[in-house]
């Protein structure tokens, strides 16, 4: 079994993890137009090389980021998303409070 190194739980079987898509910057849903939202939702980079991806360790529901080569399947680095996302984002519903 292929092993992935979870930043929280250490080395585990790859079958314990769930792939969560590439790491993209989300456009502001309130201001962006339909095509840019479609781009964010449907499109990935599709370059063959090292990609930055969301992964979840399923049993512990812990989300982290992995840098993986999508041609060779080598996992180069895994780390806590806190490394990339330092600010807390609060979402507001229309007319509601955060």
Partner 1 sequence: MPVALLKYGLGDDFPFEDHADLPGPTALRDHYDVVIIGGGGHGVATAYYLAKYHGITNVAVLEKAYLGGGNTARNTAVIRSNYLTPEGVAFYSASVKLYEQLSNEFDFNIMYSQRGQLTLAHTDATVRAFRQRAEVNKHFGGRTELIDRQAIAELVPCLNLDPAELPVLAGLWHRDGATARHDAVAWGYARGATQRGVELHQLTEVTDIASDSGRVTGVVTNRGTVHCGCVVQAVAGHSAPLAKKAGIDLPLVAYPLQAMVTLPVKPFLNPLVSSSALHCYVQQTSRGEIVIGGGSDPYPLYQSRASLPLKESLIASAVDMFPFLSEMRLLRQWAGITDMTTDYSPIMGLSPLENYYLDAGWGTWGFKATPICGQTMAQLVASGGQVPELIQPFALDRFDRFQQVNEMGATAASH
Q: Site map for partner 1, 23-62, x if CB under 8 A?
A: -----------xx--x--xxxx-xxx----x---------
CA 43/CA 51 separation, integer angstroms: 14
Calpha distance 69→57 (Å, rounded): 19
- Which ranges of 2-98 does DSSP label H, i.e. alpha helix? 34-42
Identify which range of 23-31, 66-74, 79-87, 88-96 contacts partner 1 by CB under 8 A: 66-74
Residue in 5, 67, 70, 81 binding partner 1, rule: CB under 8 A: 70
Find out whether 65 and 55 touch, Cβ atoms under 8 Å. yes
According to the binding rule CB under 8 A, does residue 2 interact with partner 1?
yes
| Closest to 93 in 3D by CA, of 31, 33, 30 | 30
Q: What are the residues binding partner 1 (CB under 8 A)?
A: 1-2, 14-15, 18-19, 34-35, 38, 41-44, 46-48, 53, 70-73
């Amino acid at each position: 079994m292929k092993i992935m190194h979870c930043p929280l739980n250490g080395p585990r079987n790859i079958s314990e993890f769930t792939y969560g898509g590439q790491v993209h910057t989300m456009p502001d849903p309130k201001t962006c137009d339909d095509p840019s939202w479609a781009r964010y939702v449907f499109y990935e980079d599709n370059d063959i090389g090292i990609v930055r991806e969301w992964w979840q360790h399923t049993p512990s529901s812990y989300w982290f980021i992995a840098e993986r080569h999508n041609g060779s399947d080598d996992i180069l680095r895994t780390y806590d998303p806190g490394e990339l996302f330092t600010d807390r984002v609060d979402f507001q519903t229309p007319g509601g409070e955060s």
